[in-house]
Structure 1
Amino acid sequence: MLEASFLNLSDRRPAEGTVSVWPAWEVRDGAGATTWFGVRLEFGDGARVDAHAVVTGGCVSIEDVRAEPALSLDDLAALADWIEGPLFDACGIGSVPDGTEPDTGEPGDADAAPSGAGSDWPGGVEGCRLVAQQYRAAQEQGIDPVLAVMSATGHGRRKSLRLIGQARDAGFLTRRRARR
């Protein structure tokens, strides 16, 4: 009887609902920016879920969720499946140029290497060339090139920035600033 008062996302099909994502606000500091997005999942019967997602350092987190009718714990877990694609697209971290999914850093990401962990990424000149390819392909698609390199290599932000710097030093990418 209590189940009837919950939204039951697991019983619904994607064709029944629409997901809207829009930028809410952004805070910039010297190291980068933290951006909040508004997310709304609406159904034809009037059921609705509103959430705020925050993107910082390449990670997406949900900060606030409000639903009418209420979400059960199972629905809260299913909510991620409903909003993940549109939210990643709006954040600019959808799929990376090689077609793999982004590393969200969540413990459930079995396929993604943990941040800072080693990977099968080649070293030396070949690795620099591949980093440059990933970087340029991401720029052409209008997504964050650092996040694309992070996802492709399986390394964290610092190591990926170091690899990008090595690709620049090796001549595969142009210099960021002219030297004086």
Structure 2
Amino acid sequence: MSVWPAGEVREGENVTSWFTVRLAFADGARVDALAVVGAAGLSVEDVRAQPALCLDDLVVLADWLEAPLHEACGLGADPGGDGAAGSRRARPPWPGGVEGRWQVAQEYRAAQREGADPVLAVMDATGHSRRTSLRLISGARDAGFLTPRHMKR
């Protein structure tokens, strides 16, 4: 993986940095991305891949890029470690496995009852991005804690 700075904007104490990232694989496949690291965390703005990425790979792309980007920013290789203290919001502890999927379903249903956006409720509860929260909701559906999104005919 290669990371190059592509730009930076400073506004007071906040710094937003853009990076060009290239993932090259042994089989000749490659992924080029434009990533942004700022106060809100990591986001990927543009992705070009040869051959094209499947949806599952796009979902985990930010996870692949997180540690190398934090290292390139001088924040340390471990985004949750001491090197990045204060630069990212802390995620509340969230259990994995069946317990985590059950809690996601509880948050989702509570938001539905209150007439709120259930995806945003899961995002708030877990501290994860929209994509990761959608993946967690999907896991809760697969585990049978939520009704299927589309009924099969």
TM-score (norm 2): 0.49
TM-score (norm 1): 0.42
Q: Which has the higher contact order (CA 8 A, sep 6+)?
A: 1
